[in-house]
Amino acid sequence: MSMDANLVSALNAQIRGEFAASYVYLGMSAYFESLDLKGFAGWMRAQSQEEWAHGMRIFDHLAARDAPISLAELSSPTTDYYDPKSAVAAALAQEQDTTRDVNQLYAQAISCGDYQAKGLLDWFVNEQTEEEDSLRTLLSQLTIAGDSGAALLILDRELSERDASDDEPMG
């Protein structure tokens, strides 16, 4: 079926949201590179790549349904945070905003009776639960680490073990 114009517009806005999130995570990766915390930097880089793939999921859905795709401008993300914990807190806040946006899109798809879009968004709803959980865990671990440089280095080493193969293909 052809898509509702308002839903198409909201999905295009979400493509921008995912790419903007990708760019923000890349800024966080640059921040952690500046501290030589390579595990955190790599973890944030992997997050950035995931967000890019999320945007492409929506892009591909619109393309498959012959719906118009529009690509908006992205603003420049910061590469400077007060400390590692504030960067991770900002990442969690970003994911909570994304969850709110995804939930709104989900309600909109249902109200349009667009169950193909709902199918796409089912994946996003589940993904947000995982994304928030992993960032909440990381934030708690940084709170426990407190001012301990040793604990921060242990955490950095653990994060460096995140492998691309841990993530779903195009996740």
Judged on CB neighbours under 10 Å (0-12, 13-18, 19+), 132 is middle
Q: How far is the CB of 71 from ligand FEO (least distance, A)?
A: 17
Count of H helices and E strands in the chain?
5, 0
Q: How far is the CB of 130 from ligand FEO (least distance, A)?
A: 9
Q: Does 51 bind ligand FEO (CB under 6 A)?
A: yes
Q: How far is the CB of 84 from ligand FEO (least distance, A)?
A: 19
Q: In the complex with ligand FEO, which residue's Cβ is closer, 102 or 152?
A: 102
Q: Does 98 bind ligand FEO (CB under 6 A)?
A: yes
Q: Does 21 bind ligand FEO (CB under 6 A)?
A: yes
Q: In the complex with ligand FEO, which residue's Cβ is closer, 99 or 145?
A: 99
SS3 content of the chain, % helix, strand, coil (to 5): 75, 0, 25
Residues 59, 99 contacting (CB under 8 angstroms): no
Q: How far is the CB of 79 from ligand FEO (least distance, A)?
A: 19
Closest CA to 123 of 66, 63, 57: 57
SS3 track for 4-26: CHHHHHHHHHHHHHHHHHHHHHH
Q: Does 61 bind ligand FEO (CB under 6 A)?
A: no
Tell me which of 4, 95, 114, 156 binds ligand FEO, using CB under 6 A: 95
SS3 at position 2: coil
Q: How far is the CB of 47 from ligand FEO (least distance, A)?
A: 7
Which backbone phi and psi does 6 adopt, to 5 degrees?
Answer: -70, -35
Q: In the complex with ligand FEO, which residue's Cβ is closer, 114 or 131?
A: 131
Which DSSP state fits 66?
Answer: T
Residues forming the site for ligand FEO (CB under 6 A): 18, 21, 51, 54, 95, 98, 127, 131
